Amino acid sequence: MFPVVRPRRLRRTAPLRRLVAGTRLHPAELILPLFVKEGITEAQPVRSMPGVVQHTRDSLREAVVEAAEAGVGGVILFGIPARKDARGSGADDPEGIVQVALADVRKEAGEALVVMADTCLDEYTDHGHCGVLTAAGEVDNDATLERYASAAVAQARAGAHVVAPSGMMDGQVGAIRAALDTDGFAEIPILSYSAKYASAFFGPFRDAAECAPQFGDRNAYQQDPAGPIGEALREVRLDLEEGADAVMIKPAMAYLDIIRQVRDMVEVPVAAYQVSGEYAMVEAAAANGWLDRDRVIMESLVAIKRAGADMIMSYWATEVARKLA
Ligand code: PBG
């Protein structure tokens, strides 16, 4: 007979478990995504994301102050313009909703947390695609790069500390880097959504940002969930060659393997985006009494961190930061 090997010794008490826990969440690594809508006088609830709203400029400022007080590391802003057009004019209009909101937020809490801007066109185009279209109705990659470059400069000028291109166009990081450098924003980092999948988990976001494509889908620019893993690694590597300062994987929980492989490959910070569908699933199940909301939220964030994310975008960022304090 041999003595029983007892891994359970180290999990017998809460202090022992706490001592050996290898994965710890911290408020500073959480980033809160926020929606701000032009032309509304009261915050509007998002139907498919209970607890999330489309903010007015005023309610946005309050939400950012709350996040800062909770110790959240950053916020990322999405703007919803009152009027949309084919080229997404609101994306780089100095008076556009996201630009004025960036300036508000930067003034209100810009010393306490990092103010980021999502750089894309889909919230601003009337057709809902992430780029401008060719006559045939396809997304025109290179014409879109010029729009992204202009939007990123407008965001930096408005006060964004970091720009985060999310459209998955080839060459977007290089185009934005060149434009920022030329216009005097060489110090502004680019957090690239490098490996972003054409995911059904983005569904609720399209309610929140009013950006569902009016025809077709995003499969020709976002990655195929079943695509080769090398494709994600290649996208990350190319973004780094083009000058990305940090990279992001999105969604998070269905792509933990990609987060881990990217973490093992790169030296830069890796972010993961716990997206709208991940949020909505938990809220819906919890509202039915089908799972323990608070424990599931913590477990999902710990899983994303353990997979290798250094920063996590989460709609629960403020709530979780308060809990961790
Ligand atoms: C594009 C963008 C999207 C999300 C973040 N940036 C939508 C999309 O690609 O369809 C999704 C975020 C979420 O689902 O929470 N600007």
Give domain limits for the chain: 23-324
What is the average pLDDT across 227-254? Answer: 98
Active-site residue numbers? 196, 250
| Alpha carbon nearest to ligand 1 atom 14, residue | 202
Mutate which of 169, 202, 255 for ligand 1? The one with the most ligand atoms within 8 Å of its CB, which is 202
Residue 216's pLDDT band (cuts 50, 70, 90):
very high
Alpha carbon distance 64, 42 (integer Å): 16
Residue 49's pLDDT band (cuts 50, 70, 90):
very high
Average pLDDT of the chain?
97
pLDDT value at 14 more than 90: yes
What is the average pLDDT across 229-258? Answer: 98
Residue-level pLDDT at 1: 80
Residue-level pLDDT at 93: 98
251-274 tens-digit pLDDT = 999 999 999 999 999 999 999 999
172-198 tens-digit pLDDT = 999 999 999 999 999 999 999 999 999
Residue-level pLDDT at 325: 87
What is the average pLDDT across 148-155? Answer: 98
Looking at domain 23-324, does it have CATH number 3.40.50.700?
no
Q: Which residues line ligand 1 (CB under 6 A)?
A: 118, 120, 122, 130, 166, 202, 205, 218, 275-276
**pTM, full prediction:** 0.97
159-176 tens-digit pLDDT = 999 999 999 999 999 999
Q: Report which ligand 1 atom has the smallest distance to the Cα of 213.
A: 10
72-125 tens-digit pLDDT = 999 999 999 999 999 999 999 999 999 999 999 999 999 999 999 999 999 999
- 8 A C-beta contact, residue 126 and residue 150: no
User: How many Å lie between the centroid of ligand 1 and the Cα of residue 194?
Assistant: 13
Mutate which of 122, 124, 253 for ligand 1? The one with the most ligand atoms within 8 Å of its CB, which is 122
| Alpha carbon nearest to ligand 1 atom 2, residue | 166
What is the average pLDDT across 128-148? Answer: 96
Residue-level pLDDT at 3: 92
